[in-house]
Structure 1
Amino acid sequence: MSIKRIDVGPRMSQAVVHGNTVYLAGQVAIDAPGKSAAEQTKNILDRIDGLLAQAGSDKTKLLSATIWLADMGDFAEMNTIWDAWVSQGNTPARACVESKLAAPQFTVEIGVVAAI
């Protein structure tokens, strides 16, 4: 079975397709400094849409999602954006945890797995 890598970097690929499944790396917002959790979430979900499209998938085929928040106090704000974006009736298995993220400007990180 072949493996397709999307946006390959020296440390990681942004997405990897194996068989009929696409795995996305944890996505963070572009230009995150000064952006609210809602703005970061919107930016991340736009990036996820783009990566899923490159892999031949979309948000209606999400299997699982993991969301990391730097502060669980942002849970409701992030969920407002998530709930407007996620395909109702096609919601993935999901976990959301508080975690120290890679850099202080990041308040949200999201990783997903989807079917093709």
Structure 2
Amino acid sequence: MAGLYRFQEGAVDETLVQDVRALNELGEEQLGELVGVVLEFLSSADSSVLVEGAESFSEKHGTSAGALRPSLLGLIVVFKGAARRHLAKELVGQDMVRFGLGEGKAGVVAT
């Protein structure tokens, strides 16, 4: 898979691909909320922001915070890589499509 993704150089671990692809289980509005949690965490670098955001999301949507963990970590990896490589949102969206997200959901992640 080397060269397929723009957020990082080299091969992407299959576990990361599966964790990001699992975001397809969410509706676009839910995905937008989850992306907001991750971006808030990344801008604060305070782990309690991530924990509280995941717990709040889980309570609101009747899911387990533990079940969200892999996808949250996947988004963190992608967003950190995209920031390091100064990717435009269009390129982040293209990477999300390569992960297997639909165009609409890829657009939600990339905005």
Shorter chain as denominator, the TM-score bin is 0.3 to 0.5
More helix by share: 2
More strand by share: 1
TM-score normalised per structure 1: 0.31
- Greater Rg over alpha carbons, structure: 1
